Structure 1
Amino acid sequence: MQDPSAAPDGQVADAVKGNWVDTTAPAWSRPFLRLSRADRPIGTWLLLLPCWWGLVLAMIHDGQASWHDLWIAVGCGLGAWLMRGAGCTWNDISDRDYDGKVDRTRSRPIPSGQVTVRGAIIWMCIQSLLAFGILLTFNRAAIAMGVLALLPVTIYPYAKRFTWWPQIFLGLAFNWGAMLAWAAHSGTLHAPAILLYAAGIAWTLFYDTIYAHQDTEDDALIGIKSTARLFGTNTSKWLRRFLMATVGLMGLAVIYAALPNASVLAMVLALAGPWAMGWHMAWQLRGLDIEDSAKLLQLFRVNRDTGMIPLLFFVAALLA
């Protein structure tokens, strides 16, 4: 690793200004934390929220809750932070020859010289091993799901080289926690968990298409594919389809999860979750401008709130 002083402040271009990594983290740790996107927490939220959806819906499904479920929620939080970091590190290792050619990504730690590829590999392994240690505290079904999750995580960085739909592969990886957390609670998978997983994938297609529009010009120059490039000026039409798929699939997941044990009030509260989420996604569409990079980044980041909305309704239904 180069001396951090070689890059004046080392801040990544699309990081939140004044974030804790750039202002308070020890100088030696900053390049590695930036590699993990710790200066851009939105990705951790987008990975974590489907886990919490799956956990709460699983409790609604069987009508049971225990103190171990609290640990599952905490463990998912820690695991999401670690695995998001490991996944981003793997992504940057895989994309190191591309990131230096894109304005938004050339300031990342590997292309900017803050971290060597060898250092990045070691850091990725450390994060992965810590996450695996947390996974081992769950049941066998969840452990198996966690191991299987490595497949979409490994493939995703390469997807944009062979398909116009890399966002699907991101969705497969980022929403896996919906099934893992369900299995951690229930010991097995049920249909609602799979429907919830599919809803999350549709949501990922929605927000990551918005995000990808920041790089369409650079991506075209270097031959990187994305749904943003594929849809172009028809993006709004496709985003509406993803919105409807998200709401519809999540609504079905709620119905199948709540039917066995939930009261009518709990069912209504739980169904209000995807409905309210859909309205928040529609609000994003009204402000969409695919030519305004700052607005695109702002809309992408508000998807933390989008994903939090159904969670709050699910929790209310659980307590009803």
Structure 2
Amino acid sequence: MTQGLVRGIRGSAAMAGVAVLMLLFVACSSGGDEPVVNDQAPLDDIFLFVISSDAAIGENRLPFALRRADGGKVDVASAGVTMMYEKRDSGVVVTAPEPTFRQWPVGGGIFTTTVEYDSAGIWDFTANITLPDGTQNTADATTLVKEASATPGIGTAAPVIATKTGATPEELALITSDANPIPEMYAVSFDDALESGDPVVISFSTPAWCTSQTCGPQVTTIDQVRRNHIGEAAFIHVELFDNPDVMRESGDPLLGVGAPAVEPWNLPSEPWTFIIDGDGLIAAKFEAFTTADELGEALVAVLAGG
């Protein structure tokens, strides 16, 4: 599956004029397709985008975005959004916890909440929205829930992999596409970090070739969390490509070779970030760009043993 992700990034890297909605809401989709926007809809219509490519039975983090038909933002507080969801044709409607709005450094943002799926299949979502002026709106979306996630599940053992390390500019240029790499993110191999017994935050992305322009900011955001927890956890960035230096020098993403360290994680999209506890188990996982606040909250819970 990861090789399919790499092929998708190759194809997407050459696209021009990617839609604004994709930049804001589809964090490095492996398919590279632009979302369909209804340019015939009234401009005050609101659309719901559920960011979920690996939903599975059990509790899931649910990032979602609200946008108007013309791509404009929806100015609404978290308290003004109620997310309802149900298994299609089940007749059982569940209300998700009140969402939290997460401001993105690249502009815009998303809401996050949690949902619990009791079976695989098609699940439907309805966001009930109350705007500041009292206007009521609804927006709908659908996602596919699988029996089990492709990526490592919460509570399962993290794949033990060796990741590339480096410190000098020359070494870092060989292991990451990041134009301004943060040496501390490449100071220790993942397998060695696990042996320390401390939590590990590991993030998979390709900053130079990401289709949504959020992968570079994701590494920077993780570094913000790292600076608040020096000595408490290890922080590691893994480049999706094994040869970023060749790609950089040639300017050709088609020359990219998938990094072996990424393969066991079965990533369907990127970026992905995981927090591993001191026992080597997946404690939290995040699809798409994730803010420093949300990552920090999850890490603090792990450090507290929660």
TM-score range, shorter chain: under 0.3
In terms of fraction of residues, the more helix-rich structure is 1
TM-score by length of 1: 0.25
Higher strand share: 2
TM-score by length of 2: 0.26
